[in-house]
């Protein structure tokens, strides 16, 4: 198979694409892949590091208010469609896949106009602008949440789950906590606001540290690189007990997840995929700063199934954080029940499911 794939801007669009590529290579080592992204997005660093052929186009998103920049956006979109057509003619893909972000809009739209089989994948419960636009042109649509189904043309939709789940589901314990200065045989909560950290989560955790110091369970608090120095300075004379460790960043976060008993963090699509694939109890604090409040809807889909707890960011304090964490970490039976519910929602074959959607789109042509 010759696969052209496009997704950019955030890890939530990039990592599912990489998971799909990995699954394709596992099934067909001779498969050829070309990834099309932007020169400024995370993909420009992450994708070439994986040894995947990478091309770029220049594009930007629409402003939500009236703006002269939107005229430039239209011009860049039309220009980027032309660039994408050149890449398609040169690469001759069997199928073109978009995993979200403005860059995938130009690439997948160009392919659809050239009568190449096309597929998009939506990671969130609320459909993004790009995928909503592309849904009218593509052959098939993969979704990760049932709540996204009725936002698309029904006959095109297939529930696949998030391909990221298949990447993490078989990760084994590797004594990763020991390497971070914690015990590998003690219940551990991970508090993590994403790769760049989350100010409100960080603030509440700092307030909670005097209480967390006194608990029998362990706390691993990952602040995000840009917040670390300020947080450590802010702790002042507050000493950390041996059961509490603060780190700025963990390069290979999935490697520690099998040793984590509870996660407190955001409700992005990648996090949800990992949590459900591994069956980890979670306390989700959705970001209120994302489009259409989709993280709250992501989180609610787990809460409704008894697979997570939810705290609104506005309600998050040191006191409410400790109460929520104690509620799970001091209740082994409750954690086990939530873990089972989370795992039931996981889709460990999500990448293979999406591969089957690609094949169906090709056969339809």
- 270, 141: one domain: no
The pLDDT score that the predictor gives to residue 195 is: 73
pLDDT for res 58:
83
Under DSSP, is residue 113 helix (H, G, I), strand (E, B) or coil?
helix
Check residue 292 and give its pLDDT. Answer: 86
Q: Are residues 181 and 55 in the same domain?
A: no
Is 124 annotated in some ligand binding site?
yes
Determine the pLDDT at residue 69. 57
- Asked if residue 113 and residue 97 are part of one domain, the reply reads yes
Helix axis angle for 269-278 and 332-345, nearest 10°, is 110
Q: Are 285 and 264 in contact (CB under 8 A)?
A: yes
Q: How far apart, in whole angstroms, are the C-alpha atoms of residue 98 and residue 114?
A: 15
Residue 265 counted as an annotated binding residue: no
- Asked if 198 and 316 sit in the same domain, the reply is yes
Going residue by residue through the chain (365 aa), what tens digit of pLDDT does each one get? 999 999 988 889 999 999 999 999 999 999 999 999 998 888 999 999 999 999 999 875 544 444 555 556 666 778 899 999 999 999 999 999 999 998 999 999 999 999 999 999 999 999 988 999 999 999 999 999 999 999 999 999 999 999 999 999 988 888 899 999 999 999 999 999 987 789 999 999 999 999 999 999 999 999 999 999 999 998 988 899 999 999 999 988 989 999 999 999 999 999 999 999 999 999 999 999 988 899 999 999 999 999 999 999 999 999 999 999 999 999 999 999 999 999 999 999 999 999 999 999 999 88
Residues 222 and 161 in one domain: no
Residue 247 covered by a domain: yes
Give residue 63's pLDDT: 46
Whole-angstrom distance, CA of residue 119 vs CA of residue 93? 13
Any binding-site annotation on 61? no
Pairing of strands 188-192, 157-159: unpaired
pLDDT for position 291: 82
State yes or no: 203 annotated in a binding site. Answer: no
Residue 292 annotated in ligand binding? no
> Angle at CA 141, nearest 5°, toward 257 and 339?
25
- Judge if 161 and 181 occupy the same domain: no
- In this structure, the answer to whether residues 9 and 150 fall within a common structural domain is yes
CB-based contacts of 168, cutoff 8 Å, min separation 6: 254, 257, 273, 274, 277, 278
> What are the φ and ψ backbone dihedral angles of 266, each rounded to 5 degrees?
-70, 175
Q: What is the largest CA-CA distance in the chain?
A: 67
Q: Is 295 a known ligand-binding residue?
A: yes
Q: In this structure, are 262 and 158 located in the same domain?
A: no
Reported pTM = 0.90
Q: How many CB atoms lie within 10 A of CB 5?
A: 29
pLDDT at position 323, please?
A: 98
CATH number at residue 55: 3.40.50.2000
Domain range for residue 309?
176-345
The reply to whether 125 and 269 lie within a common domain is no
Do 109 and 211 reside in the same domain of the chain?
no
Asked if the structure places residue 43 within a domain, the reply is yes
- Number of domains comprising the chain: 2
353 and 257 assigned to the same domain? no
Is residue 184 domain-shared with residue 221, that is, in the same domain? yes
Q: Is residue 171 part of a domain?
A: no
Is 195 annotated to bind a ligand? Reply is: yes
With CA atoms as reference, report the closest residue to 10 among 35, 34, 38, 29.
38
Q: What are phi and psi of 262, to 5 degrees?
A: -150, 145
Q: What's the angle, vertex CA 15, arms to CA 335 and CA 307, rounded to 5? A: 20
């Amino acid at each position: 198979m010759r696969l052209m794939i496009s997704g950019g801007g955030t890890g939530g669009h990039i990592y599912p694409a990489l998971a799909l590529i990995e699954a394709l290579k596992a099934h067909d080592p001779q498969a050829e892949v070309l990834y099309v992204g932007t020169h400024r997005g995370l993909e420009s660093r992450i994708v070439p590091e994986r040894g995947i052929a990478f091309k770029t186009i220049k594009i930007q998103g629409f402003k939500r208010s009236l703006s002269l920049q939107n005229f430039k956006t239209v011009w860049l979109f039309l220009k980027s469609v032309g660039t994408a057509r050149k890449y398609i003619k040169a690469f001759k893909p069997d199928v073109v896949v978009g995993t979200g972000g403005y860059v995938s809009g130009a690439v997948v739209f160009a392919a659809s106009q050239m009568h190449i089989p096309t597929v998009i994948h939506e990671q969130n419960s609320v459909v993004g602008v790009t995928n909503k636009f592309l849904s009218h042109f593509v052959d098939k649509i993969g979704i990760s949440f049932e709540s996204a189904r009725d936002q698309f043309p029904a006959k095109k939709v297939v529930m696949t789950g998030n391909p990221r789940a298949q990447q993490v589901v078989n990760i084994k314990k590797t004594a990763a906590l020991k390497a971070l200065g914690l015990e590998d045989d003690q219940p551990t909560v991970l508090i993590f606001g994403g790769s760049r950290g989350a100010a409100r989560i960080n603030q509440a955790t700092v307030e909670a540290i005097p209480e967390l110091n006194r608990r029998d369970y362990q706390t691993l608090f990952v602040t995000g690189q840009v917040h670390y120095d300020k947080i450590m300075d802010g702790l002042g004379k507050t000493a950390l007990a041996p059961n509490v460790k603060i780190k700025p960043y963990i390069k290979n976060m999935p490697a520690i997840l099998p040793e984590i008993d509870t996660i407190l963090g955001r409700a992005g699509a990648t996090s949800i995929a990992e949590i459900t694939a591994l069956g980890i109890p979670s306390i989700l604090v959705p970001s209120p700063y994302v489009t259409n409040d989709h993280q709250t809807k992501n989180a609610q889909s787990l809460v409704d199934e008894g697979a997570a707890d939810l705290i609104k960011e506005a309600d998050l304090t040191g006191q409410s954080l400790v109460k929520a964490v104690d509620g799970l970490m001091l209740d082994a039976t409750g954690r086990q029940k939530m873990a089972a519910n989370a795992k039931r929602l996981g889709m460990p074959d999500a990448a293979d499911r999406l591969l089957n959607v690609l094949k169906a789109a090709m056969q339809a042509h």
